[in-house]
Structure 1
Amino acid sequence: MSFRSLQGGQASKVIAYSYDAAGRLIGSQHGDHAHRYSVDAAGNRLEQQDTQQALTDNRLSQLNGTRYRYDGAGNLIERQEPNGERLTLSYDGANRLVHLTHASELGATREATYRYDGLGRRISKTVRHTNGTTATTHYGWDGDRIVREETDDQRTTVVYEPGGFVPMLRIDDTQQGRVLSAYITDALGTPMQLVTPNGQSRWLAEPDDWAAVKNQRAMRNVTQPIRFQGQWQDEESGLYYNRHRYYDPQQGRYISQDPIGLNGGTNLYSYVTNPTGMVDPLGLSGGPYGLGGGPYSQSSLISRSAEQAESATKSCSVSSNHLIGFGQGAASVIGGNVNFLRTLSRNVGLLGREEMRRVTIEGNTIDEAARLYASNDFVREEANSRVKDYCGEGFMAGRAFMGTLTRLGPTALYGDVSEAVEDLIKKKSSCGKRRSCLPSS
């Protein structure tokens, strides 16, 4: 892997990686800086020495001078740095981190308390400093992704790739106004830079092999907490919140065991064997990203899309119309995403008053359509007939294929539903009480 200048000159930095026979990362060369990793059969990173005592239940007790202690459930409860810095952690009955205390080598302390919703998603944290100041951060979610971070001074909204965990856009709202930034990521989706529309860099950093940030530069009051896909850094501890668990970049693994137990594999603390080509956005089960055969790979998406296409068309006759419909269905995903972008803009407040009113009407239209489908035979039969027509033409097969392949299928749904629903309601309105419009008994 190499990084080249914007002028297309020679590579300014070349990074080379080395792996063992099991595909595990054991070394890297970043320019003049070489890194070597020693791992045991279970994938635990070890001290750089000839011999190493076997780890009990894969609980790492020491790495590069840092010592670790665990509770009876296998949760990390203490981290002691060589310089005297100490981190102590507490968990609830569900093995979720709820409190920690960080004591620096100079005696300053920080305490943090974490709260979760009924789905186990972290919704807030409160950090108290030695000087008595307290700061609370709230989090907003879209499924399993953090899309909003809010403090007393700032609200940050993050837009991801549709259906994925790679950040694309960031909107910061403060008392001084709104700032729009774009993420520049590496091939794995890890942020490396934040830039404004005019090309100004707001944040720049270089992650190491296990996502620890180095050489970080940023404008005043600008922080960027996203690390590997699905990870959110906590400045007070250096740990990365990873949905179901917390990740420690110093160890390159999680601080608690896999919540799915033995189904998680032989090493319940493992992140991934190869952090240069694999991701674990949920803190549960990692896999290859990009080309390959893992759960987040393009080949896997294509395989699943083929299954969806087969399911959508198995009850339909295949003809030339089927092939034409397949192309129409694939194209509909692109068209549907126009409406998705408009909805997205509305959610972050970028639309004008008239457009906001228009989208609100469409939202009410969808609610009305749901009611009509449940209560009106005419609307229900018309909608069912359209679905059958699409199936016979291969429309749904094409939509399933393109939507899954590009990960844009869910975002296009709003556009399709909105258009079809408005048409149905218009037909219902023009029908009125005329008996000729109602289905014959």
Structure 2
Amino acid sequence: QVVSLASTDSQSSLAISYSGAQVTKVQVQDPTGALGASANYGYLNGRLDKVTDPTGGATQYGYDTVTGVMTTITDPRGITYLKNEYDTSGRVVKQTVADGGVSILAYSAETLPLPPLPPSIAPTYPDCTGALTITIALADSNSIPSTNCGVSYSYLVPPSGPVIRSQYTTITDARGTQTRMNFNDAGLVTSQVEALGTPVERTTTHEYDSVTNQKLATTDSLGRRTEYAYDAAGNLKTLTRLAGTSGAVSTTFTYEPTYNQVATITDPLLHVTTFSYDLKGSLIKVTDPQGKETLMTYNDACRPLSLTDPLGHTTTFAYDPQGNLIQTIDPLGDATTRDYDLFNRLTALTNPSAFITQYGYDVINRLTQVNDTQGGGTAFTYDPNGNLLSVTDAKAQTTLYGYNNMDRLANRTDPLLASEGYLYDLEGNLQKFTDRKTQMAQFTYDALNRRTQAAYADGSTTIYTYDAGNRLTQIVDSVSGTSTLAYDNLDRLTSETTPQGIISYTYDAAGRRASMTVTGQATVTYAYDNANRVTGITQGSSIVAFAYDAAGRRISQTLPNGVVTEYSYDVASRLTEIKYMKGSTTLGNLTYSYDATGNKTRAGGTWASVSLPQAVSSTLYNANNQMTQFSANTLTYDANGNLTNDGTKTYSWDARNRLTSMSGTGVTASFMYDALGRRISKTINGVTTKYLYDGNDIVAEIKNGVVTATYLRSLNIDEPFMRTTATGQEFYHADALGSVMALTDSTGAIKTTYTYDPFGNTTVTGTSTNPFQYTGRENDGTGLYYYRARYYSPTLQRFLGEDPIFTLRCLQIYTGGKNAYAYVDNNPIRYVDPFGLDKNECPGRGQVCAVKCGLGGGVSGAVPCAFTTVITGQACDYVCGKIVGIPILDNILCDYICKPIFEKKKNECDRNTQKCVTECRSRC
């Protein structure tokens, strides 16, 4: 019997206790031999009866006394969340869950021979010498050290002779919707019919190789066929979508022979990305379609030691003896360090400026405390099922969460004791949401669990329609009208028709946008290089051109009026200068300096703003971080946290928490939105402007039914290039945040300039009516900027309402309960927030940010994330094979050694995606 497990990847070990042949306890043991947290296992009649976690929470299992099959599972809260019923063949025919939902399973009953066992496979794994040594101590005091990185597989031999096996299975879910799956003789699904017998019935079929059982083709409900081809080793060689049609597109793959890892990927335009490996199978080079190389090196344990971009800038990594990443040094030599406890949990993170964030955990590795560098602490508590119960911030202000029997969020209570509630149907779809103003929103769904209608407390409704390909084709909003969407056979949006106009799109074989046409305007076309970077945007005779360096960073932009913007960077890919040129004449420039953490410490140049916010005598806040006093003004809010009066203006909000009107001295305004949340009209002091959108960006302004302004834009958000009105063309020149610094005319002469204080109070010099100013967002002339999900006040230096997704428990875990009204965490000279939802260091300036944020820029921009994922995945593959052979211990070992706490937290959030989505739907 295995009595202890130790690993070089951990300073602690596991001690295992038995009763006979059954494991009764698994306990953590530190290097001194002291025993810590334990999981206990109880049995009844030889079957696992109870598992008790280190906090005392017990999960219990019930069995049929005759057949021995599992009939119930009861969670640590004492709720029986699953009950199984079986037929005489021992198959589950009915499942009842904690909220009363019942699923029915029906089977065919043919007697068929078993398919042959899968072939014996002996895969070759990268040779990670020293990557991991696991010592398994046996009861007879012998130890078996293992350093084999490979994983072996074995198969249980079934009884000989025929058995009862279904050719089809029908599952009836808790809402009464049936799904039927048909199987071939090998037990593989050949077809799946969802929403059987309903108007939205949907069928998907699959074809397989009769010898290898590899999938050869899939055909969806629209008849679209995807084909798969394989090489002799069984690796996917070609993936072809729309197979058998003139629109077929294929992606091909090749593999290196030793470890069968991907060697090349060729896209439908024949652009090739190449991957190279060392003798141990570690990825050491990625070559993009333009021949630019990103290089990696590793230690003997196959952990990355360095990452070098195509310009030769290197980031290095260091590890402790347990393999935890303890230091990252960027190309400038600035270091970020990490500390861990005996159980490999991150306990401190020190940034290059020596600011320390500390983390604390409970005995089952749940994050319980985050202390920032100023000593402010955020605390988290959980229920026995691991659901987040409370978040208490640094001011001792607590937000509470409650859950139903299915562990779905049922209510949230803010620090002012205002509560909102969530009610779900039996399939977990959000059915009713009652906000803190007691306004109820109700939602209905079709048999495929797609939302078909939303009804709000003010009587407004939204109706959604889908096609057989599961694509949203129409939205009818009782307030804003009807939007119709059309797609091509690759699910790419080809047109959007709204009351404001029609926009249509085409694409190339690689899925890149080739053109965009707005009714009444010249078509916009897009050109790309082999690394998928935009090199040109053309509308009529107007051309915007871009150039990039080897690292994928934008180094120049040329506007139709001939003004060239040049970008310079340091070795850490931080923007150090922007220069605006017309021929040999410099129109202006901006320079930037940074501290070791990446915060801007200086902005210089002829276009640098020097204004500062006006001093404020006092501000006060309540327990929910709402500003209640600003200088001499008193501020009030509704129960949902929306500002209703700032001392000079009043604000009104609809049942969907959208600002609909405001009034005060010198200003009266009203706003309207479409079903996608885009603001489609504003009326300021009696003048109404309507908007036509390309995705999230405005491409036309309309007044009294006449188009008064059109925009030529980037594919990045909030990056306009040209505005055309009855008086001519204006061209945009922005800073590092995307704030518009100047507008030039067709000759390149400066006509309007803008200056800003750090939080966006704006001074305009010139006569342009251009609304896009601070961080590229819309200045309404009301004292507010429109940031899509929310409105922002530069005077108050905060948003008018709470972050719509802030209250999600998944987000609060990671943000440490940050202020729901704060604008970009009060660092407006570094970050932007284009959607009013979260700070973003990349304002959408394309490859200016590619390397920093992993956005675009071809392979070089994406390698760091993909590279890390590959390594993490390989490490867990090595450890989480059946190295012990006892399922309980294998699972514990994998959790214990492989998964650091933040990966666990992310996985926990992923498992609760439906909760997060349904909570967000009620707000966004």
Instruction: State the TM bucket, normalised to the shorter chain.
Output: 0.5 to 0.7
Alignment partners' CA distance in 1, 2:585 and 2:611: 24
Alignment partners' CA distance in 1, 2:616 and 2:601: 12
Q: Closer, same or farther in 2 for the Cα pair 1:295/1:111, shift >3 Å?
A: farther
Partner SS for 1:302: helix
Deviation readout 1:380-412 (Å, 9 max, x if unpaired): xxxxxxxxxxxxxxxxxxxxxxxxxxxxxxxxx
Identify which of 838, 858, 861 aligns with 1:302: 861
Does the aligned pair in 1 maintain the 2:785–2:792 contact within 8 Å? yes
Alignment partners' CA distance in 2, 1:5 and 1:224: 20
1:245 corresponds in structure 2 to 790
Identity %: 27
Alignment partners' CA distance in 1, 2:601 and 2:643: 24
Does the aligned pair in 1 maintain the 2:578–2:735 contact within 8 Å? no
Instruction: Please list, as runs of the form range in 1=range in 2, the aligned pairs for 1:165-314 lying within 5 A after superposition.
Output: 165-172=718-725, 174=726, 179-214=728-763, 216-219=764-767, 222-229=768-775, 231-235=777-781, 237-263=782-808, 265=815, 266-273=818-825, 274-289=827-842, 290-291=848-849, 293-294=852-853, 302-303=861-862
Greater helix content = 1
Q: Closer, same or farther in 2 for the Cα pair 1:297/1:230, shift >3 Å?
A: farther
Greater strand content = 2
Alignment partners' CA distance in 2, 1:287 and 1:193: 23
Alignment partners' CA distance in 2, 1:300 and 1:234: 39
**Residue ranges of structure 1 left out of the alignment (5+ in a row):** 38-45, 81-85, 104-108, 129-133, 312-441
What is the TM-score with the length of structure 1 in the denominator? Answer: 0.52
2:627 corresponds in structure 1 to 60
Alignment: residue pair count: 276
1:110 aligned partner, one-letter code: V
Alignment partners' CA distance in 1, 2:591 and 2:617: 21
1:421 corresponds in structure 2 to none
Q: Closer, same or farther in 2 for the Cα pair 1:301/1:3, shift >3 Å?
A: closer
Q: Closer, same or farther in 2 for the Cα pair 1:229/1:63, shift >3 Å?
A: same
1:277 Cα deviation from its structure 2 partner: 2.1
1:225 aligned partner, one-letter code: P
Partner SS for 2:774: coil
2:765 aligned partner, one-letter code: R
Which of 1 and 2 has greater Rg? 2
Alignment partners' CA distance in 1, 2:833 and 2:857: 16
Alignment partners' CA distance in 2, 1:141 and 1:195: 24
Partner SS for 1:184: strand
2:770 aligned partner, one-letter code: Q
Instruction: Please list, as runs of the form range in 1=range in 2, the aligned pairs for 1:2-401 lying within 5 A after superposition.
Output: 35=612, 47=616, 55-80=622-647, 86-103=648-665, 109-128=666-685, 134-152=686-704, 155-172=708-725, 174=726, 179-214=728-763, 216-219=764-767, 222-229=768-775, 231-235=777-781, 237-263=782-808, 265=815, 266-273=818-825, 274-289=827-842, 290-291=848-849, 293-294=852-853, 302-303=861-862
Alignment partners' CA distance in 1, 2:617 and 2:602: 12
Alignment partners' CA distance in 1, 2:732 and 2:719: 9
Alignment partners' CA distance in 2, 1:32 and 1:227: 14
Alignment partners' CA distance in 1, 2:701 and 2:679: 11
Deviation readout 1:63-91 (Å, 9 max, x if unpaired): 344432211111011112xxxxx210000
Does the aligned pair in 1 maintain the 2:833–2:839 contact within 8 Å? yes
1:202 Cα deviation from its structure 2 partner: 2.8
Does the aligned pair in 2 maintain the 1:144–1:282 contact within 8 Å? no
2:739 aligned partner, one-letter code: T
Partner SS for 1:303: helix
RMSD: 4.3
Deviation readout 1:143-193 (Å, 9 max, x if unpaired): 111222222476111222223322211111x3xxx6122101112111111
1:4 Cα deviation from its structure 2 partner: 8.6
Q: Closer, same or farther in 2 for the Cα pair 1:122/1:9, shift >3 Å?
A: closer
Instruction: Please list, as runs of the form range in 1=range in 2, the aligned pairs for 1:416-435 lying within 5 A after superposition.
Output: none
Does the aligned pair in 2 maintain the 1:167–1:189 contact within 8 Å? no
**Residue ranges of structure 2 left out of the alignment (5+ in a row):** 1-575, 843-847, 871-924
